[in-house]
Amino acid sequence: MNENSIAEIIVDCAYHIHVKTGPGLFESVYELILAEHLRSRGLSVKRQCPVSINFEDLKFGKAFIADMTVENKVIIELKSKEKLNSVDKKQLLTYLKMTGLKLGLLINFGESRIKDGIKRIINGDISTEI
């Protein structure tokens, strides 16, 4: 399964969760629910997983904690706040660059409409197929 197929499932699950719960829950609650929905759809999900990185000739174990990784291909960063800001997007892009993954989804369950709270972040040349 490629990154785009995984992202479609993630977005679908996030939409259904938001319809049922609405905004206002803690980020950790959305994370629990989303992880279970994704697993029920047959995806491998890791929550609060330490991510190792290489920087030049240095290796760092547990350099940061990703909210979720799906199928070891997509990073999900979850928020539950009124609006996303540019730092949120930059953080996820940096995570992607440091891991070498191509796709991340920034999902803000705090938005009134979930479609306004989902941002697709791509690492590298967007013309490459992912």
Output the tens digit of pLDDT for each of the chain's 130 residues: 999 999 999 999 999 999 999 998 999 999 999 999 999 999 999 999 888 888 889 988 888 899 999 999 999 999 999 999 889 999 999 889 888 899 999 999 999 999 999 999 999 754 444 4
* 113 secondary structure, DSSP code: S
**Does 92 fall in a domain?**
yes
Which ranges of the chain does DSSP label H, i.e. alpha helix? 3-21, 27-40, 86-99
**Does 127 fall in a domain?**
no
**Does 37 fall in a domain?**
yes
**Does 130 fall in a domain?**
no
**83: helix, coil or strand?**
coil
Pairing of strands 74-79, 103-108: parallel
pTM of this prediction exceeds 0.95? no
Q: Structural domain tally of the chain?
A: 1
CATH code for the domain of 61: 3.40.1350
∠ Cα 65 54 7 (to 5°): 50
**Does 87 fall in a domain?**
yes
Identify the domain containing residue 115 by its residue range. 3-122
**Does 26 fall in a domain?**
yes
